[in-house]
């Protein structure tokens, strides 16, 4: 077995961006909403350009927004970074599956990254990609849990208190050896899987954790836009 050389651009990134953003309130699909004059998906694309491992991008766009997303992508990505835009599906998992099917076969490492985590920094993509490249079949970025978490039954009674030191908040990008992610999707839908690692866990594959990023917060509710702005994450428009 020969050691894999560290190559530039050996990673395909799948970006599920087909969600409606219902919890953000009325308006365009979430990935196309603006913060400080820039669409959320554009923030993602600008960060991917700065992550040297990324060699290809596949965006799963809202069904009605495929043309709008294609135009946005052509504006933002340099020709050295090819991108495909496909129509997403009715669930996140189906959107990821559609993007995975479109990713060129030569990419043996695939990262899945929510458009909703619009400010995940380039070094986070590099950290996840390196961990897959060097050692692991599946990699997720995590942060410590700050709240106390309890399991509660349907009657509203506490069943147990989880040991906080063993809990983690999970982010994207999540990284996989391509064959592992494909096998996970071949096993069909999992109603309770809210991320890609959960599908892979069903196969018994070990999922490795790396340190996440506060900047990779998920834009879900209106307050998250305010938080991102207050954190100084949405300054792209003012950069030269
Ligand atoms: N997503 C997708 N296809 C879907 C549903 C979600 O590609 N059918 C994507 C979203 O665009 C987002 C990510 O999955 O980037 C995480 O989903 P979430 O934060 O729940 O976004 P939305 O589904 O858009 O928001 P909401 O649930 O409030 O409608
Ligand atoms: Mg959703």
**What's the pLDDT score for residue 240?**
46
**What's the pLDDT score for residue 168?**
98
Percent of the chain at pLDDT above 90? 87
The number of residues making up the chain comes to 240
pLDDT in tens, 208-222: 999 999 999 999 999
Looking at ligand 1, which residue's alpha carbon is closest to its atom 6? 19
**What's the pLDDT score for residue 133?**
97
pLDDT at residue 33 above 60? yes
> For 196, which DSSP code?
H
- DSSP for 42-74, please give it: HHHHHHHHT-TTEEEEEEEE-GGGHHHHHHHHH
Phi and psi (nearest 5°) for 31?
A: -65, -20
CB atoms within 10 A of CB 165: 8
pLDDT at residue 179 above 50? yes
Q: Which atom of ligand 1 is nearest to the CA of 30?
A: 24
pTM recorded for the entire structure = 0.94
pLDDT average, residue stretch 72-76: 88
SS3 for 143-175 is EECCCCCEEECCCCCEEEECCHHHCEEECCCEE
Q: What is the CA(166)–ligand 1 centre distance, in A?
A: 27
**What's the pLDDT score for residue 18?**
98
**What's the pLDDT score for residue 188?**
80
pLDDT at residue 3 above 90? no
Which of the listed residues 14, 23, 30, 65 should we mutate to test ligand 1's pocket, taking the one with most ligand atoms within 8 A of CB?
A: 30
Average pLDDT, the chain: 93
**What's the pLDDT score for residue 5?**
47
Phi and psi (nearest 5°) for 214?
A: -60, -30
Band of the pLDDT at 7, cuts 50, 70, 90?
A: very low
Band of the pLDDT at 6, cuts 50, 70, 90?
A: very low
Q: Which residues of 63-99 are buried (b: 16+ CB within 10 A; e: fewer)?
A: eebbebbeebbeebbeeebebbbbebbeebbbbbbbb
pLDDT in tens, 146-161: 999 999 999 999 999 9
Both tokens assigned to 170: 């999970």
CA distance 53 to 163: 36
pLDDT in tens, 87-134: 999 999 999 999 999 999 999 999 999 999 999 999 999 999 999 999
Band of the pLDDT at 76, cuts 50, 70, 90?
A: confident
Which of the listed residues 85, 116, 120, 224 should we mutate to test ligand 1's pocket, taking the one with most ligand atoms within 8 A of CB?
A: 116
């Amino acid at each position: 077995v020969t050691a894999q050389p560290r190559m530039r651009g050996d990673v395909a990134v799948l970006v599920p961006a087909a969600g409606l953003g219902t919890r953000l309130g009325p308006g365009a699909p979430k990935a196309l909403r603006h913060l400080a004059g820039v669409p959320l998906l554009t923030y993602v694309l600008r960060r991917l350009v700065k992550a040297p491992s990324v060699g290809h991008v596949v965006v799963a766009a809202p069904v009605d927004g495929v043309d709008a997303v294609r135009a946005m992508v052509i504006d933002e990505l340099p020709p050295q970074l090819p991108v495909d835009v496909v129509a997403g599906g009715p669930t996140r998992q189906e959107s990821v599956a559609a993007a995975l099917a479109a990713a060129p076969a030569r990419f043996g490492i695939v990262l899945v990254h929510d458009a909703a985590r619009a400010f995940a920094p380039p070094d986070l993509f590099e950290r996840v990609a390196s961990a897959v490249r060097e050692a692991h079949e599946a990699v997720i970025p995590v942060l410590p849990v700050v709240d106390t978490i309890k399991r509660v039954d349907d009657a509203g009674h506490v069943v147990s208190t989880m040991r906080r030191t063993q809990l983690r908040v999970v982010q994207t990008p999540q990284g996989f050896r391509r064959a592992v992610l494909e096998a996970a999707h071949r096993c069909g839908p999992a109603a309770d899987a809210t991320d890609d690692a959960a599908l892979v866990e069903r196969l018994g594959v070990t999922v490795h954790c790396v340190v996440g990023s506060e900047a990779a917060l998920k834009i879900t509710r209106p307050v998250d836009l305010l938080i991102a702005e207050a954190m100084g994450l949405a300054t792209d428009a003012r950069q030269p």
